[in-house]
């Protein structure tokens, strides 16, 4: 543990041993020591953005998702250009520098829809950073449009895409994915999209949704898959682990405790020695646990999430303004700083 806290690399069996044999506070202390080694300052960053869902119509039918609606459902929607522009303008007026845009596996939208969506945003909001289309969406585009991942990502970049979010990773173990999301892309396909994006010059984030049907060993395999790809490409700017929210889903799992969340966060910091930033998940854990996260390896408070619908569909509705984020960071003993997606600071 001390070797990992000092920047040494943990192997799989060592990480599993730490999980089994160390206390919450020991693991947190080591993770915080590594965090301060990577970021030797008292700053905690966050981005001002809005999470916009362009559609909820989806053929995947993931068991963990309370947000999607099947084709033909009366509650299904595809966002209009007017609504999209209104949402972005509201976000810009609140100081947003970024839009996180994700959707579904819609069976009827063509590639021109997505390209025009990006072009229209860049035309009307040229200064906004477009963080959009997670790997499962891009794999869906490949199946729908008969193009390679490289061709699709290249065309999205030409239309205005600036970076790719790490959504849809869930757990990067196919046995787990087949149980909770059998119609979604495989672990290798998720990694292929990220590898291709990095090769084409895009930065991306990575996530892990845990606390459903996976074992601790599966979480470690997920972390190690990300670490191997980061060794290869260096394209991940941040890692965001967040807890599965079971309400209104088809997975009868218990809610993950705050203790298990903090232990998983700390272990992630110790294993992912090559991914520079770790985000706290106040969206699922609330403000107080997010503050504690800053002493368990996290150096970033995520985003303002001016709008968030997917987690909210499970009944979890934490909300925070910029002023509240600043307040919580200061109360924890740190200095808040606004940032861009690539973790450069804004004045």
Q: Compute the distance between CA of residue 103 and CA of residue 213 in angstroms, rounded to an integer.
A: 24
Q: Compute the distance between CA of residue 319 and CA of residue 302 in angstroms, rounded to an integer.
A: 12
Q: Compute the distance between CA of residue 283 and CA of residue 157 in angstroms, rounded to an integer.
A: 29
Residue keyed to tokens 């892309």: 185
Cα distances from 97 to residues 198, 295, 339, 340, 341, in angstroms, run: 22, 27, 9, 7, 9
Buried b (16+ CB within 10 A) or exposed e, 75-85: ebeebeeeebe
DSSP letters along 19-42, please? HHHS-HHHHHHHHHHHHHHHS-SS
Residues in the chain: 347
**Which are the contacts of 45, defined by CB distance < 8 A and separation ≥ 6?**
277, 299, 300, 301, 336, 337, 338, 339, 343, 345
Residue keyed to tokens 């209009």: 80
pLDDT value at residue 269 = 98
pLDDT value at residue 248 = 63
Q: Compute the distance between CA of residue 248 and CA of residue 137 in angstroms, rounded to an integer.
A: 23
What is the per-residue pLDDT across 299-328, written as a single tens digit (0 to 9) for each? 999 998 776 454 444 444 456 888 999 999
Report the 10 Å Cβ neighbour count for 323.
Answer: 9
Of all residues in the chain, what percent carry a pLDDT higher than 70? 95
Q: Compute the distance between CA of residue 30 and CA of residue 179 in angstroms, rounded to an integer.
A: 34
Q: Compute the distance between CA of residue 143 and CA of residue 156 in angstroms, rounded to an integer.
A: 16
What residues in the chain have per-residue pLDDT under 70? 248-250, 252, 307-319
pLDDT value at residue 254 = 73
Cα dihedral value 283, 284, 287, 290, nearest 10 = -100
Domain residue extents for the chain: 9-337
Strand spans (E) along the chain: 43-47, 49-53, 98-102, 129-132, 163-164, 203-210, 236-243, 277-278, 300-303, 335-338
Q: Compute the distance between CA of residue 254 and CA of residue 171 in angstroms, rounded to an integer.
A: 17
pLDDT value at residue 62 = 76
**Which are the contacts of 123, defined by CB distance < 8 A and separation ≥ 6?**
none
Q: Compute the distance between CA of residue 162 and CA of residue 237 in angstroms, rounded to an integer.
A: 13
Q: By C-alpha distance, which of 194, 173, 205 is closest to 281?
A: 205
pLDDT value at residue 68 = 80
The CATH architecture annotation of domain 9-337 reads Alpha-Beta Barrel (3.20)
Whole-model pTM? 0.93
């Amino acid at each position: 543990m001390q070797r990992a806290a000092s920047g040494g690399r943990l192997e799989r069996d060592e990480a599993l041993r730490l999980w089994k044999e160390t206390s919450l506070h020991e693991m947190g202390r080591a993770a915080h020591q590594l965090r301060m080694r990577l970021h030797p300052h008292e700053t905690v960053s966050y981005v001002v953005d809005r999470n916009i869902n362009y559609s909820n119509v989806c053929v995947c039918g993931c068991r963990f998702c309370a947000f999607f609606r099947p084709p033909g459902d009366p509650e299904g929607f595809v966002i209009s250009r007017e609504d999209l522009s209104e949402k972005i303008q509201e976000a810009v007026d609140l100081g947003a520098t970024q839009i996180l845009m994700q959707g579904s596996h819609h069976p009827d939208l063509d590639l021109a829809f997505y390209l025009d969506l990006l072009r229209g945003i860049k035309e009307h909001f040229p200064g906004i950073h477009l963080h959009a289309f997670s790997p499962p969406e891009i794999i869906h585009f490949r199946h729908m449009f008969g193009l390679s991942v490289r061709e699709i990502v290249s065309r999205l970049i030409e239309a205005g895409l600036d970076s790719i979010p790490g959504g849809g990773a869930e757990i990067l173990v196919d046995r787990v994915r087949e149980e909770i999301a059998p119609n979604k892309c495989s672990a290798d396909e998720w990694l292929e999209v990220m590898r291709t994006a990095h090769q084409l010059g895009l930065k991306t984030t990575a996530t892990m949704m845990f606390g459903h049907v996976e074992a601790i060993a599966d979480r470690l395999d997920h972390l190690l898959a990300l670490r191997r790809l980061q060794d290869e490409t260096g394209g991940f700017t941040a890692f965001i682990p967040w807890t599965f929210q079971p309400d209104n889903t088809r997975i009868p799992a218990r809610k993950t405790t705050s203790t298990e969340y903090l232990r998983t966060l700390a272990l992630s910091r110790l294993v992912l020695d090559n991914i520079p930033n770790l985000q706290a998940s106040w969206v699922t854990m609330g403000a107080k646990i997010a503050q504690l996260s800053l002493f368990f390896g996290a150096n970033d408070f995520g985003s303002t999430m001016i709008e968030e619908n997917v987690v909210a569909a499970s009944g979890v509705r934490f909300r925070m303004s910029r002023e509240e984020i600043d307040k919580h960071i200061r109360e924890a003993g740190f200095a808040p700083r606004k940032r861009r997606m690539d973790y450069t600071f804004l004045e």
